[in-house]
Amino acid sequence: MKKLVICALAFGLIASGDAVAQTRAPNNVGCGLGSMVWEGSEGVFPQVFAATTNGTFGTQTFGISSETSGCAPNGKVSLNQRTAMFIGPNINRLAQDMSRGDGETLASLADVMQIAPEDRSAFFAATQKNFERIMPDENATAEDVTEGLFAVLNADPQLRRYAIS
């Protein structure tokens, strides 16, 4: 019995890792029964419980495939979401590359954002020139950086077309 409880707790912690790591968003655990039950609740623990419920019982997977449990039909990851998802784990290397206006992580971001080869040099230059606006401080989140990046692109006539989400 003791082993079962320990395994259940370990699984719950693993399943809820994203919720604990990203406490700024009101609902960052997606759709599913757990998200519906804990809807409107704020803080780490409701997110942990929602993520655990979604992961343990498979309600998120079921909801996505059946378009129930608060899951949108024909769900699509937007360019803003893809960009923020890439920036999150790469934010430190990306900051270094943007400050130089070149680098592997910045080139990978250009791939994620589908920047055409002929616009890459303008993209790299814009990120370097506007580094302070894109990364306002060392505590900037992936969402902050994404928002700043899209604002910079939207202000540039050549790169504006890439700012559409």
Residue pair 19/28 in contact by the 8 Å Cβ criterion: yes
Q: Report whether 146 contacts 127 (CB < 8 A).
A: no
pLDDT band, residue 9 (cuts 50/70/90):
low
Look up residue 52 and give its two tokens. Answer: 């655990």
Q: 70-103, pLDDT tens digit by residue?
A: 666 555 456 677 888 889 999 999 999 999 999 9
**Contact at 8 Å (CB) between 4 and 22?**
no
pTM over 0.75: no
Domain limits, the chain: 2-66, 79-163
Residues 148, 133 contacting (CB under 8 angstroms): yes
Which CB contacts under 8 angstroms, 24+ apart, belong to 39-44? Answer: 39/70, 44/19, 44/20
